[in-house]
Amino acid sequence: MKKVVSRVMRIALSLVIVVALVVFARKVNWHTTWQSITEANRTILLVAAVVNLLSLALKAVRWWIFLRPVGATSLWMAIKATFAGAGLNNILVANGGEAARVVFVARAAHVKSAKILATLALERMFELIGYIVLLALSVSFLELPTALTRWRPIAWVALAGVAVLLVCLVRRPERAEHVAAATTGWRSKFAEYMKHFLHTIGGISTGPRFGMAILLSVGIWAMQLWTYSLTARAAHFNLPLVGTVAAILAVNLGFAVRATPGNVGVFQAMYALTAVGFGMDKDQAIAVAFLIQTQQIIPVTLIGVILAPEFLFKRKRVTRSEDDGLDLMSRAEEGA
């Protein structure tokens, strides 16, 4: 019942967002927007696209730091799965690429999916930590719009909570993994799956790994900021650095939930509204936002298909019996 209600709410929210985007789109001068796109400097756009790809490669390295101790030691495999997963996220409404790359790496490295899921959970956590750090520093030291500065108390509370969480994970005593006898029933299998997941989280949570992940997260967000800035320069859109920071914070506020495939439409609206707050032209801002997303979607998706075509086109393939925990998790939600 809860699953049905949740699905209805997601559909209703998506419809509201789509209607709002249609209303927003009717107020756009698409002739001016298209002109700004066609007149953009292609050389600078190419550099921006390369920087964006490098930031995604760094995300793969960050994941690899947590994959190595569980037995998935191939950096190349982590890179392939990261690019292919990002490609899937670009064409799906939900972040389906995340679950799919867990199955792909678990199958390729012959490691239980619960362990791979634990590494991905930590990698995604540091993506959020990087955002929180950027948000806390920006709202404290930059002159941002009021809508963002209101987040200052929340940002610092979240940052403090993150620090406490990291300390707890590092200081969590490691226990021997319990090897249980074969279980029957999906509830028992799900409980055993979660035991493997939590044990792995505790086992790979160390200070050096967390320190390296934080450094990589800072580098990743810095590269994303550079990508946005280069794209704006290519389109002759003189948005100041503080405006670029505000834009990247605004468009990523809901990065965990995608209302449209690739978040197209929502991304443009958020970027344009933020740029207008800095006195910039809305139609040109939409053009820049389309150029940014073009770099984030087309090259990444093409590279994902080239590197791991079996990952994108055969993701429904049956997995090993010990890796069926991902399906069990959704069934547990349905039975709750």
First CA to last CA across the chain, in angstroms?
A: 9
Token pair for residue 23? 């209303």
> If the chain, 336 residues long, is cut into consecutive pieces of 10 residues, what is the mean pLDDT of each piece?
57 55 52 74 93 96 95 92 86 71 88 91 92 89 80 89 90 58 65 82 90 95 94 92 91 64 75 90 89 87 78 48 46 42
CA-nearest of 36, 77, 80, 82 to 290 is: 36
What 8-state DSSP symbol labels residue 26? Answer: T
Q: In whole numbers, what is the pLDDT of the chain averaged over residues?
A: 79
Q: Give the amino acid at 226.
A: W
Q: How far is CA 86 from CA 9, 61, 92, in A?
A: 25, 14, 10
Rounded distance between C-alpha atoms, residue 328 and residue 106, angstroms: 16
Contact between 267 and 251 (Cβ < 8 Å): yes
Determine the pLDDT at residue 36.
Answer: 75
Q: Can you give the pTM of this predicted structure?
A: 0.80
Contact between 243 and 278 (Cβ < 8 Å): yes
Determine the pLDDT at residue 323.
Answer: 47
When computed from its CA atoms, the radius of gyration of the chain, rounded to whole angstroms, is: 21
Contact between 248 and 226 (Cβ < 8 Å): no
Determine the pLDDT at residue 127.
Answer: 92
Contacts of 96 (CB under 8 A, 6+ apart): 88, 89
* 311: three-class secondary structure by DSSP: helix
Determine the pLDDT at residue 310.
Answer: 62
Rounded distance between C-alpha atoms, residue 164 and residue 130, angstroms: 15
- The CA-CA-CA angle for residues 212, 214, 216, to 5°, reads 70
Determine the pLDDT at residue 251.
Answer: 87
